[in-house]
Structures are given as C-alpha cells and as structure tokens.
Structure 1
Amino acid sequence: MKKIGIIALALFMQHISAQNNRFVYQVTMKPDAENKSDIKTENAYLDISAEKSLFYSENRYKRDSIIQATVSSGGGRGFNRDQMESLRSNINYSIEKDKKNQQITFKDRIGRDVYVYEEDRPLSWKISSETTKIGEYKVQKAETDFGGRKWTAWFTTDLPYQDGPYKFSGLPGLIVKVEDDKGDYSFDLMKNYKIGEIPALNQFGNTIKVKRGDFVKQQDKFKKDPVSFMTQGGGGFAQTRIAGGGGGITPPRGGGNRGGGNSGDFRKRMEERVKEEIKKNSNPIELQ
C-alpha cells in the first residue's frame, strides 16, 4: 500500500508539473498620437508551457471561441453584433516564444492576410540593483531600448519563469510590470492560474511568412492604400504563403447592399472606415 501511495504521489506531481500557466496582464495603451487622452485598457494572456509561451488578447480569445461555437453549430442565426463589437481589441497580434530555439515569432493581420516573421533584434537588458514590491512579489528593476522606446521592467524570481508580456523576455525571472518612458504603453501582471492546453488561435485568411523589414514595408503600404489589401490581398507583395483558404472582402452585387448603392460606394465607405482606424492607431508600440 505504501508503494502504491508513493507511485500515486509521483504521478500527481508529474501531472502538476505538466500543467500550463496563464498570466493575465492589464495592457494600457495610448494608440492615437494626436489624442493621448484616449487611453485604451484591456487584458492579455501570457500562456506558458515547458516548450513555449504565447501572448495574445483576451478579447481575441473570446471572439475566436464565439466564432468557433457558431461555425460548429452550423451558423444558426449568426453572430451577436453587439457582443462581437464589445470584444474589439487593440491587440490584434500574437507572439510565440520557442524556449528551445530561443526564437520569437510575431503574427499580425494586414488587410485580409496574416503576416508572420521571426524577431531579429535580441533584447539587451541593463539590470539594476534597485528592488521594490509589486503586489505579493519582490521585484527588481531592469531597462532596455527596444522598438524606438525606452522600457523599464520589474521582474521577480519568486516565480520559476524567465518570460514576460509582448516580446519581452531574457531576464532571470518573470516580468511583473513593464512600461515605456513616455507612458504610452504598460503591461501589469494582474493574476495567474493553471490551464490545460495552450489554445490554437484561429488564423482566418492566408498566412504569409516574411522578414521583419518586409512586414514593416507592408504596414506602410497598407496605411497609404488599405483597400488594395482588403480587396486583393498582399498589396502586390512577393509572398511565401504557408497556409491558405482566405478570401477578401467582396462588395455587394448590384443594389443588394442596405444603402442601395453600388460596389464603388461600398469601396469608398470601407476605405473611409479603414483609414479612420489607421488614424486612431498612429502611435504603435514599436516606433522603429
């Protein structure tokens, strides 16, 4: 009986160690360069397993779950527009960190396509001897320059992880708080708990693998001519497509749209809406 008890305990400990951990960060952003008083706040998840971590928006996860449930049920009456609108997110990207290869993979949508690149700029931290306490954790200060911003992070060795929100990692502990010196972006750890599997995020449309510099060029092209990306996809870029199945936005045929207009009216309205969204996101987290 004693031997069985020891085996059971060993299996239980193995099960606990195999569990994944979710760290919930409150992300505070000032995405509009011309209106810094417009502060956006939402939660994001940092899911950590033994092999990798994944950082993504809580709202995106909820939207994906609703879409998946609706599709699985055959569509039904479609989506609840108000519910989906309430789950809009300013964090449309996801970031995966591969622990074995020490590689950071960034994914974000431009128009109808999802672009993927491997981060090519290693973080160089300057660790200070300064310590304090944030919540229940004793934390230590570290600083870095990244993406055209100066960042201050506070990390703890109370937790057995060397990771953090967004692309931040490489410190001898988990980042509890990190913010830029202009106060435009901050990530604050709120809570953590055990989870099962790290979710596989839905990627609607084509997935295109590029270099980081080409992704930046595509973003610039999108800002100048967003509709070409929405209706044609890719903006004429030479791509390596690693997945397919996406379609662009198709204008209503004839007078079938609610306004009774033609596809030219639809294109104009779509262009105005997309350009307004771009204007409201004129202060990105990475400035260079």
Structure 2
Amino acid sequence: MKKLGFIALALFMQTAFAQTNRFVYQVTMKPDASDKNDVKTENAYLDISPEKSVFYSENRIKRDSVMQANFQSGGARGFNRDQMQSLRSIINYSIEKDKKNQKTIFKDRIGRDIYTYEEDRPINWKISSETTKIGEYKVQKAEADFAGRKWTAWFTTDLPYQDGPYKFSGLPGLIVKAEDAQGEYSFDLMKNYKIADFPTLNQFGNTIKVKRGDYVKQQKKFQEDPMAFMNQGGGGGISAPVRVGRPGGGGGNPGDMRKRMEERVKEEAKKNSNPIELQ
C-alpha cells in the first residue's frame, strides 16, 4: 500500500508539473499609419511550459472553436457571420519559442496558406538598474532596438520564466510590460492561471516554410494583387486556381467577387499600414 501511495504521489506531482501556465496580455495597437487616433485593443495569450511557449490572439482560439462547431453542425448554412466578425483579430500570427533549441518560430496566414519562418535577429537587451512596481510585481527596466522600433520592457524575477509577449524573451524574468518609444504598440500583463495543456490552433491550408525575407516579399505580393497571388499558388510553388462562387452560381458573379476581395484586402492593408515590425 505504501508503494502504491508513492506511485500515486509521483503521478500527481508529474501531472501538476506538466501543467501549462497561461499569461494574458492586453495588447494596445495603432495599426493605421494615417490615423494614430484609431487605437485597437485585444487580449493575447502567452502559454508557457518547460519545453516551449506560444503567443497568439485570444480571439483566434475563440474563432477556431466557433468554426469547429460550425463544421460539425453542417457547414456554412449555420454560419454566424456577425459572431465571426466580432472575433476578428489584428493578431493573426502566432509565435512559438522552442526552449531546448533556443529558436523563435513565427507563423502567419497569407492568402490560403500558413507561412512560417525562424526569427534570425537576436534581441540585445540593455538592462537598467531602474526598478518600480507594476501591479503586484517588482519590475526592472530593460531596453532594446528590434525590427525598427525602440522597445522598453519591464520584467520581474518574481515569476521564473525568461519569456515575454510577442518575440520578446531573454531577460532574467517574465516581461510584465513592453512598449515601443512612439507608444504605438504595448503589451501589458493582466492575469495568469494554469491550463491543462496547449490548445490546438487550427491551421487551414498548406504550411510553407520560408526565410524571413521571403515571407516579407510574399506578404507584399499578396497585398498588391491578392487574386493573382492565390491563383499562382501563393508563391509557394503550388498551382491551385481560386474558385470564386459555388457550383451552380450560388456564390455570385466571379468578377464582382474578385473586385470585392481586392477592395477588402486593400482596405485591410491600409488599416494595417503601421505594422509592429518596421524593418
């Protein structure tokens, strides 16, 4: 019985240790370069385990859940467009940090496919002696230039994670707050709790592994001519013409649909003309 007790305790400890910690950040953004008064705010999750961490939009997981339920209930007929519209996100990317191999993997959808690259620029933090308190945490200041912006981060050693939101990591503790010098992007830790495991993020379409520079080129191609991009297989070497409209003409006039899609993509490009990475 004593042996069984030890086994049960060991299994309990193993289960407890395996739990993932979720940190919820409020992300504040000014994505439209022509209108800096247009401030967008949404929540994002940083899920951390001993092996890795993943940063992604809260709306992403909610949207995935709605889409999954829709597919299971019979597809587009039960599709709630208003609900999906309310779950739209500016944070369409996800970022995974591989703790063992010290790699940061970025994933983002362009057209119908997921493009992924390994971040090739290190973040060189300069740690200051300046300290303050944010919420319940004693924090210390650090600064870095990254991707065309000057960032100030506040980290705490009260939490044993050398991690943070977005691509930020490498400080002696968890980043509680990060903000760029222009005040156009900020990440603020709101709360944290334990979850059983990482959720599965739906990834429709092909996953195409590229270099970071190639991702930037593909993104520009899509913004300039989205229909041509997808008809050419999205630059990923896969030729698959886009179907506009459903068989039998249920989707409307193909020419009108193409025009609407191009207008929508151009409008979204304008609204996201001040990206978090400028270089």
1:253 shift after superposition: 6.2
Deviation, structure 1 residue 265: 1.9
Give yes or no for the alignment of 1:175 onto 2:175: yes
Alpha-carbon deviation of 1:87?
A: 0.1
Say yes or no: does 1:250 pair with 2:249. Answer: no
Cross-structure match for 1:287: 278
Moved more, 12-21 or 97-106: 12-21
Deviations 1:29-83 (A, max 9, x none): 0000000111000000001111100000000110001111222334384221111
Q: 1:11 to 1:266 in 2, by over 3 A?
A: closer
In the alignment, structure 1 residue 153 sits paired with structure 2 residue 153? yes
State the distance in 1 between where 2:230 and 2:236 align. 17
Report the identity percentage: 78
1:269 paired residue number: 260
CA distance in 2, matches of 1:284, 1:146: 13
| Residue equivalent to 1:228 | 228
Kept in 2: contact 1:162–1:171 (CA 8 A) = yes
What RMSD, in angstroms, separates the aligned Cα atoms of the two structures? 2.2
Residue type of the alignment partner of 1:272:
E
Structure 1 counterpart of 2:127: 127
Deviations 1:12-33 (A, max 9, x none): 3332221111000000000000
Work out the number of aligned pairs and report it. Answer: 279
CA distance in 2, matches of 1:113, 1:225: 16
The TM-score, its normalising length taken from structure 1, stands at: 0.90
Contact 1:254 1:263 in 2 (8 A): no
- In 1, Cα distance between equivalents of 2:201 and 2:38: 29
TM-score using structure 2 length? 0.93
Matches within 5 A, 1:177-192: 177-192=177-192
CA deviations over 1:80-116 (Å, ceiling 9, x no partner): 1111110000000000000000000000011111101
Moved more, 221-230 or 38-47: 221-230
Letter of the 1:270 partner, please give it. Answer: M
> 1:241-261, CA deviations, whole angstroms, 9 ceiling, x for partnerless residues?
8xxxx9775212699357x6x
Note the residue ranges of structure 2 that are not aligned, 5 or more in a row: none
Q: Tell me: CA distance 1:77–1:222, structure 2 relative to 1, closer, same or farther (3 Å).
A: closer
1:2, CA displacement in angstroms? 7.2
Residues 71/188 of structure 1: CA separation in 2 closer, same or farther (3 Å cut):
same
Q: How far does residue 9 in structure 1 lie from its aligned partner after superposition?
A: 4.3
